[in-house]
Amino acid sequence: MHTLEVAALLSNTKAISPFITQAIGIDLSAKMISAYNTLSQENLLSENMSATQGDLLSPSSSTTDLFQDSKFFNFDIIIMSMALHHVSDTQLMIEKLHERLSEGGVLVIVDWLTMGLGGTGDGHGHQGGHGQEKKLPGSHTVAHFGFNMDEMKELYEKAGIVDIGFMEGIEKSKVPAEMGGEQQVFIAKARKAVRN
Ligand SMILES: C[S@@+](CC[C@H](N)C(=O)[O-])C[C@H]1O[C@@H](n2cnc3c(N)ncnc32)[C@H](O)[C@@H]1O
């Protein structure tokens, strides 16, 4: 099972490691890549799990050709965890990830449900929406204050991905007080259609 984790975090990969044979992580942050690769070496997973620094939406000169390599295509599973809210052009991101799935492959997005604070209430809220000026930790990197089911469905449908599923986290997660103290995650999934 060939797996891509965008916004790499080894604990996510480790959670699914019994079910996969290979995982590739991609993240913008050199620190995240280094942590992923160090942990994978410590856990003797480095042969099958490694991470590369880069952005699939705007590859640097060093990754433009790299990301065209066949190892960055035909994934059975792509997971993007807690990163979509950092991406400005979410539709383009979903389309780019869709391109990299194998037929029948599944794209999983884990992120926050739409947050009330600082958002427009339509899930596409930017910091300071509706005149709110309060700054949240790391808010300069946040493009969207969460998503709801209809928005995720629309993103997937516009990208032509099928078999859409959506579930909310069972329990709320503790987050800093500035973010409301509690937030709720969702898991959204969809499948690349198999051509006849
Ligand atoms: C909140 S962290 C989540 C990390 C981890 N996936 C997790 O589940 O805990 C968001 C991560 O998304 C990464 N990120 C944001 N935009 C990205 C992009 N376009 N491509 C790759 N990584 C991105 C950031 O570098 C950061 O490491």
Q: What is the pTM of this model?
A: 0.85
The reply to whether 100 falls in a domain is yes
Structure tokens, 66: 């790299």
Give domain status of residue 81, yes or no: yes
C-alpha to C-alpha distances, 38 to 8, 21, 91, 115, nearest whole angstrom: 12, 19, 32, 34
Which residues line ligand 1 at a C-beta cut-off of 6 Å?
Answer: 6-7, 9, 12, 26-29, 32, 55, 57, 81-83, 86-87
Each residue's pLDDT tens digit in the chain (196 positions)? 888 877 666 667 777 878 888 899 999 999 999 988 888 888 777 778 889 999 988 878 888 888 999 999 999 999 999 999 999 999 999 999 999 999 999 999 999 998 654 443 343 333 333 334 345 556 677 888 899 999 999 999 999 999 999 999 888 888 888 777 888 999 999 999 998 8
Instruction: Please give the tally of structural domains in the chain.
Output: 1
Q: What is the CATH number of the domain that holds 125?
A: 3.40.50.150
196 domain residue, yes or no: no
Give the Cβ contact number of residue 153 at 10 Å: 17
Q: To test the ligand 1 pocket, which listed residue (12, 13, 28, 31) has its Cβ within 8 A of the most ligand atoms? A: 28
Residue 119 lies in a domain: yes
